[in-house]
Amino acid sequence: MSDFLLENEAARRLIQTLGLPVPVPARLRRAKGPWEERPLHDDIVAVGGTTGAAATAVLAQTLTAAGATPWLTRDDHVAVFAEPGEAFGRPAKRVDLEALPDGAKLRGLVFDATNLSDPAELHALYSFFHPLVARLSSCGRAIVIGRPPASFESAHSAAAHAALEGFVRSLAKELGRRGSTAEVLYVERGAEARLAAPLRFLLSARSAFVSGQPLTITNEVKAPKDLRWVRPLAGKVALVTGAARGIGAMTAELLSAEGAHVVCLDRPADDALVSQVARQVGGSVALVDLGTPEAPTQIVDHLRQHHGGVDVVVHNAGITRDKTLAKMKREYWDQAIEVNLGVAIRSTAALLEGTLRDEGRIVCLSSVAGLAGNLGQTNYAASKAGIAGYVRKLAKHVAGRGITINAIAPGFIETRLTAAIPVMIREAGRRLSNLGQGGLPRDVGEAIAFLSSPGAVGCNGQVLRVCGGALIGA
C-alpha cells in the first residue's frame, strides 16, 4: 500500500499551490547498500558547544573520518580539529555565526553541551541553533550532546541537561516538515569515545525515521577490540525471528550486507517464504513454531548444532490479536503475551546459557503502542511494554560478558499489517508524526543493524523509537 501524498506528484503540487491545510510530507533521504567508511562524504556539519565541553575531540575525529566538512563556530575548536582534519583530508572551516557564508546548506548541526552546569547557560544552545537552523538542508540532522540528568548531584545541573530533551523534541517537530530530524545523546563521563558509532548512524541517511529521541551512551559494557565501519559483522552469526516477511526479512538483508551469516527463523507454515529470504541473503533456515513450549530448546539446539553458537539475536517475531478488553477471548490474550514477550524472555534465558557468545548483541522489538497504549490492544501493548522493561533490567546482568540488549519501538511502518487498517485510520496514523508519513521496514532494520554492531557498545538497556517522531507516547 503506497502513501498517496508521497507518491502522487500532481496531488502534492495541487495541495501546495492552493495552500490547503494538508501536510505534504518530504521524501526522506535513505541510504542504499552496506555501511560505508565515509557515510558523511562532503556533508557540511556545523559544530558548536559550551566552554570546556568534553566531546570536542571525539567530534573532530568522528566527523572528519566519516568524510564530513566541519564548520566550527568556536575559536577553541580550531586546534582540536586541525590534526584529524589534515589526516583525513577534511580541514575544518571557522565560521562567524553573524556572517555566515552565502548559499551553502548544512547537512548537520552538532552542539556539545556536556559542560552545562546551570539553566542560565542554555542561552548557548539558542545562540548556536538560531542562526543555523534555517541553513539546514532538507533531510538534515540536528544533534545535541549532554550528560544523563540523573548523573548530577546538583539539581541545577540536572535541570539544565533535562532541558536538552525538551528542546530536541520540540526542534524535531519544527524540522519534520522538511524531512529533518533532531536527537539528544546523553553520554556518561568517560564514555565519550563511544559516541562515534551513534553519531555516524544518527547523522547519516540510515536514521531517516528516527526523530526527537534521547539515547544514552554508557561505559558499563567492555568495548570490543575490533571496531570497523565496513562489514562490521563479518564472521558473525545472527538469528532473526519472524524473518519470512516485512521487518524481519529486511533485517536479514541488512545484517547479511554487513557480513553476518543470518539464520532466518519462522514457523513451519512459512517454510517457502523464509527459505526464499534465506537464499536471497546467503543465510540458512530454522523452522520453529514460537507458540510451542519447546521453542527455546529448539532454537538453542539448532544454533549449537549448525553454527556452534550465535553472536546477534533479533527477537522480531510478533503477533496481534486485537479486540477491546471486554470482547477479547482468553486465548487472544495468552497468544499475544506468549509470542511477543514470553518466548523472547525464555529464548534469551536459554541462549545466555552458553549459546550466545560474549560480546554478543540482543535486539528486541517493542512498539510505540507499548509505550503509549492503543485502543483494542491491551494484550499487544502489555507485551511490548514488557519488552521495554525486560531489556532495561536485563542489560546490567549481561554487561559483564560484553553483551548488550536493547529494544526498538517502531511506530507506523508500512507493512501488510498496516495496509489492512481502514483507510481513514491508516491515513491518520501516517500523519501523526514529525515527519508526517509512515516508515518503511528498512528504517527499522537500519536501527537494528546499528544496535547489532560492535560500535554500538555504549547502548545498553535502551529503547529506541523508530517512529518518525510519533505525536503519541513518551
Question: Which residues in the chain show pLDDT less than 70?
Answer: 1, 4-5, 7-9, 11-23, 418-424, 473-474
Q: What is the domain partition of the chain in residue ranges?
A: 39-217, 237-466
Q: Are 47 and 68 in contact (CB under 8 A)?
A: no
CATH of domain 39-217: 3.40.50.720
pLDDT for position 224: 87
The residue from 186, 332, 380, 390 that is catalytic is 380
The whole-model pTM stands at 0.94
- Report the CATH architecture of 237-466: 3-Layer(aba) Sandwich (3.40)
pLDDT for position 18: 57
The reply to whether 380 belongs to the active site is yes
pLDDT for position 227: 86
pLDDT for position 471: 82
pLDDT digits over 258-291, tens only? 999 999 999 999 999 999 999 999 999 999 999 8
CA–CA separation, 110 and 235 (whole Å)? 34
Q: Which are the contacts of 364, defined by CB distance < 8 A and separation ≥ 6?
A: 315, 344, 387, 390, 391, 405, 406, 407, 408
pLDDT for position 429: 76
C-alpha cell at 30: 535513505
Q: Are 122 and 107 in contact (CB under 8 A)?
A: no
User: For 110-154, where are the alpha helices, taking DSSP H only?
Assistant: 123-132
Distances (CA, A) of 327 to 321, 331, 381, 384: 11, 12, 16, 21
**Separation of first and last alpha carbons in the chain:** 28
CA–CA separation, 238 and 224 (whole Å)? 17
